Chains A and B, each alone.
Chain A
Amino acid sequence: MGTVGNLGDPKLCYDYKNREYGTVEPDIKRAPFRWVSEVSYKNIHRIVARGYDTTELVEQGYGLADMIFIDFQARIPLIEEQKMLNYVMILALEDGFSTPVAISRMIAKSNTYLTQAAGASILAFGQAYSAYSAFGNMLDKYLAKAEKEGKTSGEIAELLVKEHLNDEFLGVSGLMLKDPSAKRMFVRAEKLGVAGKYIGFTKEIVKATQKINKEPVDLDMLGAIGATMMDLGFSPDATWAILAITRAFAAGAHSCEEVEREHFERLGQRLTPKEYYDGPEHRTVLTINERKKSAAAEHGDSPEKWEKWVEEKKKLKGSGWSIMEKVKIPSK
C-alpha cells in the first residue's frame, strides 16, 4: 500500500508507514497495577477507612461529620469540631435558587437520573461561585508571607486586600450586610474553642476591606465557611469538595420538586424568541459553488494581522475569543 496523505512527508520525525500495529504486551518487569490508596480499603468482610472499620465506627455512635474528618484528615474529631462541622454544613446546605440548584433543576427537566441532576450541581462550584479552594489558598499564601517577612496579620491583610479587592473569592463583600449568619458562625467557632489563625486572619481582612472600600462590606458566607473549615483542619481543596457535596443534597431535593411541580422538556420544545437574539442579521446561505468563489480562509499570518484578526473575532459573542485567562508563564 502506498503512502497515505501527508504521512510520507519528510518533515515527519518518524517513518509512519513502518510504525507498529498491535497492543503493548503486559509489563511483567514492574508490579501489576493495583488501586493504591491511603484513604480506605475493603475486603470480603470489612470496609476500613484510615484504619477504622466503618461498621464498628457507626456501631460506636460516630456520625456523618465524624466520617468526613476520618476520610479527609485521618483522625477522629473533638466533639466541638464535629459540632462545628455540622453547623457549617447546615449553613451550606441550602441557598435558594442559586446556580447549583438552577442547574440541577434544568437537568431534571430532561427526565434524567436524579444522580445526574445532583452531580451536575457540584460542577457549578467554580472560581466565582463559592471558590473555597481559591479563598483558602489565598489565606495560606499571605500567612506564609507574613511569617517570612515578619509582618503582622493586620499588615499582611492590608496587602492581601489591595491585591484581591475585586476578586470573587475575597470572602468580604456586600452580600451579607443584612444577614448575620456569617458573623454568627465565627462567634460559634469561638464559643466552641475551634477558632484559630484563619478566622483571626479573616477578621483582619474584613477590617482592611472596610477601610478602603467605598461601599459597605462585611464578612460573607464564603469567607466565614472557608476560614472556619481551615481552622477545623480541612485543606482548601477538601473544603471546596465538602461544601459542594453538601449543597448537592439540596440540589437533589430541588430536582425532585422540579419533576413534581414542573414538566419535562422535550427536545425542540423550548423556543428562543427573536428578541433574545442580537447576533448577525438574517443572511442568505451561499451555494456550495459560490463558496469557492467568495469565501476565503481567515487567519492572521503576522502579529499585526493576527491582532486585528483576534479583535474582529472578539466581536462575535460566543466565539470564546473574549475570554483569555492568564496562565503562569516563566517570563514576565
Chain B
Amino acid sequence: MKKKIKTIVYCSTTADMFHYGHLRLLEKANVLGDFFICGVLTDEAIKSYKEEPIASLKERMAIVSALRCVGKVVTQRSLDPTENLKEIHSQFRDAKIILVCGSNWKKVPGAEYIKKIKGEIVQPPFYEKLSIENVVSKIFRLHEFRRKTAISYKTEGKTILRGYNLSDLAEEGYTFCDALFVLFQGRLPAENEEKMLEYETAEFLEHSMSPSAAGAIAVISGRPHLPAAIAAAVMTFGGAHGPGAAHGYMMHQYIERAIKEGKSLEEMGRILVDEYLDAGLPVMGLGQPQHTDGDPRAEPTHIKQEELGLSGAYLKLQRSIEKHFNERRKKQGKSFVAVNMIGAGNTALADLGFSPNAAWCIGSVCRGFSCAAHALYTIKKGHAWAASKREPMVQMLDLSMIKYVGPEDRPVPSIEERQEYAKNQKEEGEYKKWVL
C-alpha cells in the first residue's frame, strides 16, 4: 500500500460541534491526494488558542472516524501538526505531503516543516456562516430578543404590522395616523377617526417653549448627536409635564365606578371633583400654567370631537368634571379654569380607542418632532454651550444666570482634620436643611 501512495493529505480539525463547514473542509482535503489523514486536536491543543471544546476528544474522534472521506484518524497533541507530519513523512518517505488548512488561518501551523520537506499547503475557503463566532452570536441574539409579539414581524420580503404589509398600507394611500391606529389598536380607523387623530397630533406637535423644547435646547447646547436631544425632550413627559397615562387611568376608574354604582357619568363627574378637591388634590386635565385664560388648543379639541361625531363616555365624563369643578370655584368666588390639553387631548384619544399609555406615547413622541426642529435651529443658528460673552444678549448658560442659594462659601478642611470636622458637622446637623 505504501508504495502505491504518491500523495498524502493531512488536515487538522477540532471537530467540536461538528457542522457542514468541517465536513466541507475534510471532503475537499480527501480529493487532493491518494490518502487522507485527519488529525483531531486534543482538548489541551484547542485550549492553547481558543475556548475549550464542548465535546470530548473521544466524542469528536468518533464523529471524524465515521466519515467516509477520512482515511485515517489520529490525535494531534498541539496546535502545530509538525509532530504528526514527521511521523507520516517517516512512514511514507516517497510520498508528497499536502497540508490542508482553512483560509481563515493567516499563518498555517506546520507550514515551516512542509516547506522543508517540499510539501504543499492548500487553504480552501473558510466556511464563515457556521463559524463558532457566528453561531454563538446568533444564539445570543435569539436568547436576548426572542419574544412573542402581537405587533409585527419582519422577513426578508416584507414587514407586517398587525397583519398588514406596511408597504401595501402606504401604497393604498393610508396616512401615518391610520398606521397609528393599526399599531395601537390593530384596526384601520373610520375616516372621522383618522381626521380626529390628524387634528390632535398636528396640534400637539408644537408648543413652543415648554419643558420638552427647553430640554432639547439645553441638551443640544453640549452638541451631542441630535437623537440625544430629541430623546431628552420626549422623556420630559413625566408626572407634571403632560401627566400622560394618569388622566386616562383616572377617567377609566371613575367610569367603572359609574357602572358599578349605577350612576350617570354626569353624577360621577361631580363625585370625582368633590373627592379630589376635598382631599386637597389637583383635578387632572384642568388649567395650564402659561395659557392662563384657556389653552387655545383644548376647548376646540372638545368641539372637534363632537363635530366629528366621536363623543364617547370619556368626553361626557370630562365635560361633567369641567362643569362641576368650575361650579365649585364659582361658589368660592374663584375664577374660571378651562380644560387643558391633557383633559381635552387624552379624552379624545380615549374615545378614539387609545389606551392611556398609547395616548401618552402618541402625545409625547409627537412633540418630539417640534423639539427636533428647536434643537436643529439651535445647532444651525445658535452657538454650542450658550454661554458666550460675545453675544449681544445674555445667553442661557451665562454665568450671571446662576443665582446660588446654598451654604455660604467655606474652607475645605485638611484631610487630617477631616474626621473631626465631619463628626462635628454631622452632630450640628445644619447640613440637614440642604439635604435633597
Contacts and interface: CB of A to CB of B under 8 A. Distances in A.
Interface of A: 1, 4, 21-27, 30-42, 44-49, 53-55, 57-59, 61-68, 70-72, 83, 85-91, 93-98, 102, 105, 113-116, 118-120, 122-126, 133, 176-181, 184-185, 188, 235, 237-238, 240-242, 244-246, 248-250, 252-254, 256-258, 261-262, 276, 278
B361 A252 contact: yes
B293 A30 contact: no
Given A35-B209, A93-B183, A238-B376, A65 B149 contact: no
Contact of A181 (B159, B232, B291, B358): B159
Contacts of B401: 33
A285 B318 CA distance: 64
B409 interface: yes
B121 interface: no
A281 to B, nearest CB: 12
B177 interface: yes
A39 B373 contact: yes
B355 interface: yes
A179 B157 contact: yes
B167 A181 contact: yes
A99 B220 CA distance: 23
Contacts of B304: 58-59
A44 B404 CA distance: 30
B205 A59 contact: no
Given A46-B296, A87-B170, A178-B156, A67 B205 contact: yes
Contact of B376 (A102, A179, A241): A241
A21 B375 CA distance: 34
Interface in B171-202: 171, 173-180, 183-184, 195, 197-202
B377 A122 contact: no
Given A31-B393, A71-B205, A114-B360, A64 B156 contact: no
B369 A97 contact: no
B166 A250 contact: no
Interface in B228-256: 228, 230-238, 244-245
A250 B159 CA distance: 13
A325 B404 CA distance: 40
B177 A64 contact: yes
Nearest to B360: A114
Contacts of A237: 226, 376, 379
28 contacts: A4-B412, A27-B394, A31-B393, A36-B393, A54-B297, A63-B201, A64-B175, A64-B176, A64-B197, A64-B202, A65-B176, A66-B202, A71-B206, A83-B173, A89-B179, A90-B170, A96-B152, A102-B144, A118-B364, A119-B231, A184-B171, A235-B376, A238-B376, A244-B227, A245-B234, A254-B149, A256-B355, A278-B51
Given A30-B393, A37-B209, A94-B151, A113 B369 contact: no
B183 A113 contact: no
Centre residue among A88, A176, A257 by max chain B CB count within 10 A: A257
A118 B177 CA distance: 18
Contact of B198 (A4, A63, A113, A254): A63
B394 A91 contact: no
B207 interface: yes
A245 B369 contact: yes
B68 interface: no
Contacts of B296: 45-47, 53-55
A104 B230 CA distance: 15
B400 A24 contact: yes
B202 A249 contact: no
Contact of B377 (A38, A57, A94): A38
